[in-house]
Structure 1
Amino acid sequence: MAGPAVPRADISAWRPDVPGISEVFHAHFTEHVYPKHTHDTWTLLIVDDGAVRYGLDRHEHGALPSTVSVLPPQVPHDGRTVHPEGFRKRVLYLDAPMLDGRLIGRAVDDPTLADPLLGERIGQLHAVLEVPDHPLEAASRLALIRERLVHHLDRPEAAEPVRRDARLAHQLRELLDARMPQGVTLEEASALLHAHPAHLVRSFTREHGLPPHRYLTGRRVELARGLLLDGRRPAEVAGLAGFFDQSHLNRHFRKMLGISPAAYAGRGKPARGGRRG
């Protein structure tokens, strides 16, 4: 005689090497019901399929694919599916200091944010976190997400106009150039240049037309091109140009030039007569 059906659950969870994020959690649940519990972290929830019903501080709320849910630390909540087919969700658990404690009350009052841009940015960050070789991009995207959350939860602070700071943008570019092979974290750059991380990313992007992580990757590919043409092997070039490994180099090299590093090096033409002009 067959036993009772086991509720389906498909889960992946990991701790990324990104300051401010304590855990990434992806799940597909069909029948699982969360009992009332709390976290030490901020819970940033997006639903990809289905819908979730949850209680937060004795009030009922819903999470849909069109919304972002922000559950504050130390506030009891539960959760359950709305539809028989269950739901798919992606969650970021952010360290409590990422948002000011005085914003907890605001999040309890209204944890549901109907903000397509915020949802898109969170989805983009999840995609970056699935490939653990983009720390600067992950930190940059997290800084903009945090800024957007503050925009919703703390209106007076968000009322400040966005400033264009060309000098700061050029300082960051000089820092990225100086640290190009080894790289620099957004946290380090923020401390060295005495600027808020989100302001740093915005200023750079507005001034130079692309975000800091993409600029740095492009500069590394340029360095790799020169090293390959000097006769260095791709495996050696990867480390010298600041990539994690050869596959990391291959991925970005192909994306930028449409060809692998090995094929690029093999298509060089020798100088005529053995001399360079």
Structure 2
Amino acid sequence: MRDVQEQRHIYYDRDLKIEAYNLSGIVQKFPNHFHDFYVIGFVEGGKRHLWCKGDEYDLTAGDLILFNPRDNHCCAPINGEILDYRAVNIEAGVMRQAVKEITGRDYLPHFRQNVIYQSDIAQSVAELYNVILYQAPKMKKEEAYFFLLEQVLQEYAEPFDEADIPEPKPEIKILCSYIEAHFSENIMLDCLAAKVNFSKSYLLRSFTKQVGVSPYRYLQNIRLERAKKYLEEGIAPVAAACMAGFADQSHFTNFFKEYTGVTPKQYQRIFVKEPGDGK
């Protein structure tokens, strides 16, 4: 029986326009999924087995994690150890603006590595998290933010357009676009297969291999990202669930927590309260 209290905190900084994220005392397994934003995080305590884009890693305290938008990943505890984890989430538009400030060039970066073992940069992530949590002056937050990004960009990133990234074939791109446009509808596998003249079996194999997640998992991820936007706009969770295509509120809440580590209400709260106003 664990005597460590589970805690889940997420804050939104309106000056930097980024999220600061902390999970502690967690044994939850996170299923295969992706984000539409960049993630820079580190393991503060515990051990985790991470699967990311077909590669596997055993993570321990001090290991840095870098996710590009749409990098599919999942993780699970090792030997039941609890996880302490901190991260900052940066939307693509916000990242592009920061990169231009730092490099003088207008581009989106691509992280070449997803895991850097025992990285000194982990301390910079912790510093940025702390100045956001304690509502430091804007100048101090900006210093911590740009210092962190400059380190990561110099050592582990390249312009996205210059990166050698395998892309899905045209047929799979058509399916992705269709799912993104019709996420709130009851999309059937027969419909997807007919659009590209694939058998259902071949579609499942091809889509999962090229995208990293199955068509249904892709749909659920798109729905989740849309629901998060609705919550950020102040739309009630029950309405956000319906608008995003989830069957019911209970399913939405369970799914949201399974993928993000927090409930829809906890997530929405960060956009109506300043960091530190309540946990």
TM superposition score category, shorter chain reference? 0.3 to 0.5
Report the TM-score, using the length of structure 1 for normalisation: 0.48
Report the TM-score, using the length of structure 2 for normalisation: 0.47
Q: Could you say which structure has the greater relative contact order, defined with CA pairs below 8 angstroms and 6 or more residues apart?
A: 2
The structure with the largest alpha-carbon Rg is 1
